[in-house]
Every structure is written in structure tokens, then in C-alpha cells.
Amino acid sequence: MEKLPSLHVRAFLNLPPRPGNALTAPELVSRFVSEFSKRHWPAGHRLPEVYYDRRGIEAANNEPISLHAKCVVLDEQELFVSSANFTEAAQNRNIEMGVLLISPPLARQATQFFTDLIREGVCLRAI
């Protein structure tokens, strides 16, 4: 991202509540941002915009809601959809499958889907 200052990166990540945790939603988000910045992103590098599905931490009656999609959209031209989480285990130990679609219409549709989640207040910005 440093080599391309104009690069715009948005990450939509799952932020599940932790059972038995008494943290408020803002405290949970703050802890997540700290952990993401320190443990999951290279030090000294510009952070992406990070969004989370607010329903995941507001879920009532122990009915979890998960932002489970795993996709990457590049320049509204290409769309990579995968079963893989963006974790060390998924990248190095699990057997995963993905598909790269070079399809501007599908890539734009995926971009619009996530943009709509932000506009509708479903996904909120953490970073």
C-alpha cells in the first residue's frame, strides 16, 4: 500500500462477540482495532479501512450473525471468491478452494453490495 498511495483498501471483517465477555460494543471494537493493528497487520504500514457487521456484536438470544464472505475485488474488474479465511491457518494449513473471476459486472456488483452495507448502517467502520 505504501508503493501505491492512491490505493484504496476496504476490509470487511467478522467481529463476533466472545461468550461470557462483559465488554460493551464500543469496548469490543476498540479491542479488535488494537489486536488487528498489532497482530494482524504489518507494523509501520498504512492500515486499510476496516468495517464490521454491527449485528454480529449486537446479536441477541445467542443467535450469532457472521460476516462470512471471503472475497477480494480488484479495481472493479476482478473478483476472487474463496472458502479461505484470511488467517495463517487458512493460508498455510487448511485445504481451501477459490475462484478468480475476471468479470467487471460481477466485480462492480460485489463492490456495490459492500458499499450498500455501509450506506444502510449494517457495516460500521472500525478503522
User: For 3-56, how does the pLDDT look when each residue is reduced to its tens digit (9 = 90+)?
Assistant: 888 888 898 888 876 666 677 888 888 888 888 888 888 888 889 999 999 888
The vertex-102 CA angle with 113 and 121, nearest 5°, equals: 10
Name the one residue in this structure whose C-alpha cell is 508503493.
3
| 3-state SS, residue 123 | strand
19 vs 82, more confident: 82
pLDDT exceeds 70 at position 101: yes
More confident position, 13 or 58: 13
Using CA atoms in the order 101, 105, 108, 109, what is the torsion angle rounded to 10 degrees? Answer: -90
Task: Tell whether the model's pLDDT for residue 77 goes beyond 70.
Answer: yes
Rounded Cα gap, residues 42 and 60, in angstroms: 34
Q: Please answer whether residues 90 and 96 qualify as being in contact, where contact means their C-beta atoms are separated by less than 8 angstroms.
A: yes
Confidence (pLDDT) at 37? 87
Grid cell digits, residue 53: 457487521
C-alpha cell at 120: 444502510
**pLDDT at position 61:** 60
Please give the pLDDT value at position 62.
Answer: 66
Looking at residue 4, its pLDDT comes to 84
Per residue, what are the HEC states of 89-106?
Answer: HHHHCCCCCEEEEECHHH
Cα(109)–Cα(14) distance, rounded to whole angstroms? 21
Domain ranges within the chain, ordered by starting residue: 10-125
Cα separation, 85 vs 97, in Å, equals: 11
Q: Work out the mean pLDDT of the chain and round it to a whole number.
A: 86
